[in-house]
Amino acid sequence: MDTNVFISKLKSDDPYNSEAETIIVNLEKGDEIQAETSVLTLLETAAVAGRLYHARMGQEDEDGRQIFVAKTIKMLAGLKIRFIHLPGDAPLPLGNAQITMPSIFNESILLSIQANAPLRTLDLIHVAAARHAKQTNHKLGAFVTGDSDLLSKKNHLSKIIGMPILTPREYVDGLGL
């Protein structure tokens, strides 16, 4: 699952809000579906929740914002989700130099070369995490995202990560949820 699936639940005007609600309800139960997502999802969701709270409230209520962000992260952490983390560092040879960096960054850089289409930084990390997840869990059926940039490249990216890329609507409809 891409971060925007979880963020869609927070935005009542999001085109995938109802599908995100359905996905999250089923992830709370833990018996119909299972999901994996990058640990980056926690950070992105916290950042968006803080911005959404401020925009909705139209005032500086720091205590309320902190409570809203904490509840959002607690809700996300309480779902039946496996958070993907590529442990350790990996060397990236660059000509005469070699740079050691976190493995997920190394995989994301390699993906940026393979993707043959420009992707945003955080999208590279999510797609790299999805590819890693598929390699370690062959039961994964799809990468679910509402990101129009990723969806516009889904045929090419699906081949790279080894599974189809679906919108939340396609995912929910496909499972009959």
pLDDT higher than threshold 70 for residue 108: yes
Residue found by looking up tokens 């040879």 in the block: 93
pLDDT digit string (tens) for 76-97?
998 999 998 888 898 888 788 8
pLDDT digit string (tens) for 11-53?
989 999 999 999 999 999 877 788 999 999 999 999 999 988 8
By the 8 A CB rule, do 154 and 165 touch? yes
What CATH number corresponds to the domain at position 20?
3.40.50
Residue 51 structural domain: 3-175
pLDDT digit string (tens) for 118-169?
899 899 999 999 999 999 988 899 999 999 999 999 999 999 999 999 999 9
* Short-list 128, 132, 18, 6, CA closest to 77: 6
Q: Which amino acid is at 131?
A: R
What's the number of domains the chain is made of? Answer: 1
Count of Cβ atoms closer than 10 Å to residue 136 Cβ: 12
Q: For the whole model, what pTM was predicted?
A: 0.88
